[in-house]
């Protein structure tokens, strides 16, 4: 198992664990407990912080039972839990729940820390049921709850009085996709060049017209094989481009962030025509190894991964499953609700010749699929594929000169108001999508009722349900019943992921949704065309990562 690296800010925490003590950084000014350990208090910003012992008592906030072998030799199943520590509301650890059968784990169960020796340096804090009366603990004073879901929803972002939102000065003028498939054994650059040249031609432009380039994530050290695609420096050079503006990076409002940034660069006059692309070759990369977890093959984990991976929480599937289980607990959401999202996607994929999985699927097929991490079975997880998607973001003043109808950017959403963390996010039944969506609606006169087609991220089925609630198509907590009854299918009230989504169309990592939204608004989707399609929402990301755009014809 990959173990935590001893980093300067985390060394004392892990040394205490190795000595059999659960101890965390505590602010000496306001008593706030800071985790992961950092040398500054996020509540009062004091830098007077000190490691202090905690009681080791906690309750189970949520959990998932993992069945997937994320690396060779991994023994399954095991329980990944998120526990809330007794000393401070919202202070959590991702951990393993031990000395309890998976079927006996309950949310709210009192637990107590144990230490699992892993090496001379590392003992991991894990938790076992313990119903004995807890000792009195020093509770941290409450932090102002400005990021609680109820408060956020009651106080939408204030409308800024602008004569024009700058993203409206940009349009999407072109779209192109490479061949899409399983194990194409083509290089990332080959796929990217195909998509980019198609997108440029689709916009009625020549490569020499392109004066900007952006991508997600761009060149990325340590990326899993097949994930990152070629960096913008490589692509600029390969295509012989001369650019006025260029940007790539993995941090930001999800995979769609380079499109949002490009629209602002165009509005600022930094560029007129920006090539934006996302390329994956994860199916070819997994041909020899199968789908591995994050950190598989590594010895030491740094950053946030140090607090997740060593417990076998080696995939976003595990982290997001924990959120789904909490949603099920609070709102009665069921697997059949998640299944409705997967089934709608599969039905639509049958109408898309480029989709990966096109065979019909029933609810029984869905429920009978092998379990990955409760409540996610195989069909709750997107299908790795190879492919590249490129779009051209242009200045709106060229809209009338285009060979095809311009797709207008009406509004964008990028906000992030809670802790940007998979397990410390305050309300685990919501995600950063809550904040990005709220901001999007604050920048437009359109409303959720105006949306004709929704292209919403479905790396895991539950992400879509969380986005549907976040975007206000239904109330918080009512996503389960809402997605049922055929509402998401073509002809329904909210046609969703009409290309098959990533669940059936293939994991193009965000950009498949954007490509389909453009084609739907142009009326180019043939059998799967939504009639009179004028407004599309595109949403990317999940957990503490989210970005969205509202597009119009």
Q: Are 455 and 517 in contact (CB under 8 A)?
A: yes
Judged by CB, which is closer to Zn ion: 117, or 142? 142
CB of 17 to Zn ion, least distance (A): 23
CB of 146 to Zn ion, least distance (A): 16
Which among 35-43, 357-365, 366-374, 535-543 is the span making contact with Zn ion, rule CB under 5 A? 35-43
Query: Token pair of 52, please?
Result: 């202090």
Q: Are 42 and 426 in contact (CB under 8 A)?
A: no
Which among 30-38, 80-88, 200-208, 286-294 is the span making contact with Zn ion, rule CB under 5 A? 30-38
Residue (of 14, 49, 55, 68) closest to 376 by Cα position = 68
- Angle at which helix 335-349 crosses helix 461-470, to 10 degrees, equals 100
Which among 19-27, 243-251, 280-288, 404-412 is the span making contact with Zn ion, rule CB under 5 A? 19-27
Judged by CB, which is closer to Zn ion: 44, or 268? 44
**Cα–Cα distance for residue pair 537/548, rounded to 1 Å:** 7
CB of 221 to Zn ion, least distance (A): 34
Which among 22-30, 108-116, 356-364, 480-488 is the span making contact with Zn ion, rule CB under 5 A? 22-30
Which among 29-37, 271-279, 432-440, 519-527 is the span making contact with Zn ion, rule CB under 5 A? 29-37
The owner of tokens 């009406």 is 410
In terms of Cβ atoms closer than 10 Å to its own Cβ (0-12, 13-18, 19+), residue 246 is buried
Judged by CB, which is closer to Zn ion: 42, or 302? 42
- Phi, psi (deg, nearest 5) at residue 433: -55, -35
CB of 34 to Zn ion, least distance (A): 8
Q: Is 43 in the site for Zn ion (CB under 5 A)?
A: yes
Binding Zn ion (rule: CB under 5 A), the pick from 3, 17, 41, 292 is 41
Judged by CB, which is closer to Zn ion: 46, or 447? 46
Q: Is 32 in the site for Zn ion (CB under 5 A)?
A: yes
CB of 43 to Zn ion, least distance (A): 5
Query: Token pair of 66, please?
Result: 């993992």
* Count of residues that bind Zn ion according to CB under 5 A: 8
Which among 33-41, 262-270, 399-407, 420-428 is the span making contact with Zn ion, rule CB under 5 A? 33-41
**Cα–Cα distance for residue pair 371/382, rounded to 1 Å:** 14
Query: Token pair of 410, please?
Result: 């009406």
**Cα–Cα distance for residue pair 102/77, rounded to 1 Å:** 8
Q: Report which secondary-structure segment, H or E, holds 316.
A: helix 316-331
Tell me which residues in 45-104 interact with Zn ion (CB under 5 A): 46
Judged by CB, which is closer to Zn ion: 51, or 264? 51
CB of 27 to Zn ion, least distance (A): 3
Binding Zn ion (rule: CB under 5 A), the pick from 19, 44, 128, 268 is 44
The owner of tokens 């190879």 is 386
CB of 28 to Zn ion, least distance (A): 8
In terms of Cβ atoms closer than 10 Å to its own Cβ (0-12, 13-18, 19+), residue 162 is exposed
Query: Token pair of 21, please?
Result: 């003590």
Tell me which residues in 454-493 interact with Zn ion (CB under 5 A): none
DSSP per-residue letters across 352-384: -TT-S--S---HHHHHHSPEEETTEEGGGB---
CA torsion, points 366, 369, 371, 372, in degrees to nearest 10? -80
SS3 325: helix
Judged by CB, which is closer to Zn ion: 38, or 106? 38
CB of 423 to Zn ion, least distance (A): 21
Site string (197-236) toward Zn ion, x via CB under 5 A: ----------------------------------------
Site string (158-197) toward Zn ion, x via CB under 5 A: ----------------------------------------
Q: Are 16 and 6 in contact (CB under 8 A)?
A: no
CB of 306 to Zn ion, least distance (A): 23
Q: Are 295 and 286 in contact (CB under 8 A)?
A: no
Size of the chain in residues: 553
Q: Is 35 in the site for Zn ion (CB under 5 A)?
A: no
**Cα–Cα distance for residue pair 273/214, rounded to 1 Å:** 11
Binding Zn ion (rule: CB under 5 A), the pick from 27, 58, 196, 550 is 27
CB of 32 to Zn ion, least distance (A): 4
Judged by CB, which is closer to Zn ion: 33, or 494? 33
Binding Zn ion (rule: CB under 5 A), the pick from 29, 268, 368, 493 is 29
CB of 39 to Zn ion, least distance (A): 12
The owner of tokens 């041909």 is 287
Query: Token pair of 60, please?
Result: 């189970």
Judged by CB, which is closer to Zn ion: 28, or 302? 28
User: 445 Cβ partners below 8 Å, 6+ apart?
Assistant: none
**Cα–Cα distance for residue pair 365/373, rounded to 1 Å:** 17
For the chain, the maximum distance between any two Cα atoms, rounded to a whole number of angstroms, is: 74
Judged by CB, which is closer to Zn ion: 25, or 322? 25
Site string (270-299) toward Zn ion, x via CB under 5 A: ------------------------------
| Interface residues toward Zn ion, by CB under 5 A | 27, 29-30, 32, 41, 43-44, 46
């Amino acid at each position: 198992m990959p173990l935590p690296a001893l980093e300067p800010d985390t060394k004392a925490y892990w040394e205490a664990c190795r000595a059999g003590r659960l101890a965390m950084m505590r602010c000496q000014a306001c008593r706030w407990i800071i985790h992961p350990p950092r040398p500054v208090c996020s509540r009062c910003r004091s830098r007077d912080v000190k490691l202090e012992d905690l009681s080791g008592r906690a309750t189970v906030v949520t959990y998932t039972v993992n069945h997937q072998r994320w690396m060779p030799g991994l023994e399954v199943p095991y329980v990944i839990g998120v526990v809330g520590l007794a000393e401070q509301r919202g202070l959590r650890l991702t951990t393993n729940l031990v000395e309890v059968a998976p079927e006996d784990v309950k949310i709210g169960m009192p637990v107590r820390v144990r230490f699992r020796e892993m090496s001379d340096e590392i003992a991991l804090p894990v938790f076992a049921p313990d119903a004995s009366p807890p000792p009195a603990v020093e509770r941290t004073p409450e932090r102002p709850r400005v990021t609680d879901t109820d408060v956020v929803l009651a106080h939408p972002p204030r409308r800024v009085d602008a004569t024009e939102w700058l993203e409206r000065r940009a349009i999407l003028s072109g779209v192109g996709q490479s061949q899409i498939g399983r194990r194409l054994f083509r290089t990332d650059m080959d796929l990217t060049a195909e998509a980019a040249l198609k997108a440029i031609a689709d916009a009625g432009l020549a490569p020499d017209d392109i004066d900007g380039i952006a991508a997600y994530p761009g060149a990325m050290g340590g990326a899993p094989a097949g994930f990152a695609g070629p960096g913008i420096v490589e692509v600029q050079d390969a295509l012989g481009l001369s650019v006025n503006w260029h940007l790539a990076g993995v941090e930001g409002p999800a995979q769609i962030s380079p499109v949002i940034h490009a629209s602002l660069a165009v509005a600022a006059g930094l560029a007129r025509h920006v090539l934006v692309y996302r390329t994956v070759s994860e199916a070819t990369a997994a041909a020899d190894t199968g789908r591995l977890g994050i950190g598989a093959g590594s010895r030491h984990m740094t950053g946030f991964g140090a607090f997740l991976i060593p417990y076998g929480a080696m995939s976003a599937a595990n982290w997001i499953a924990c959120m789904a289980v909490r949603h099920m607990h609070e709102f009665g959401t069921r697997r059949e609700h998640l299944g409705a999202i997967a089934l709608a996607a599969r039905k639509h994929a049958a109408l898309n010749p480029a989709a990966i999985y096109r065979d019909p699927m029933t609810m029984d097929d869905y429920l009978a699929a092998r379990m990955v991490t409760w409540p996610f079975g195989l069909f709750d997880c997107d299908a790795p594929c190879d492919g590249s998607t490129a779009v051209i973001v242009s200045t709106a003043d060229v809209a009338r000169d285009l060979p095809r109808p311009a797709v207008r950017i009406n509004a964008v959403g990028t906000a992030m108001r809670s802790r940007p963390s998979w397990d410390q996010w305050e309300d685990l039944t919501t995600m950063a999508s809550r904040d990005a969506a709220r901001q999007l609606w604050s920048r437009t006169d359109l409303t959720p009722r105006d949306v004709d087609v929704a292209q919403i991220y479905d790396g895991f089925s539950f992400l879509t349900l969380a986005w549907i609630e976040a975007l206000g198509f239904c109330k918080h907590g009512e996503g389960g019943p809402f997605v049922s009854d055929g509402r998401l299918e073509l002809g329904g009230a909210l046609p969703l992921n009409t290309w098959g989504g990533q669940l059936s169309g293939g994991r193009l990592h965000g950009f498949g949704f954007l490509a389909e939204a453009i084609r739907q608004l142009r009326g180019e989707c043939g059998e799967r065309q939504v009639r009179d399609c004028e407004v599309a929402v595109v949403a990317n990301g999940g957990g503490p990562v989210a970005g969205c755009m509202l597009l119009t014809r």
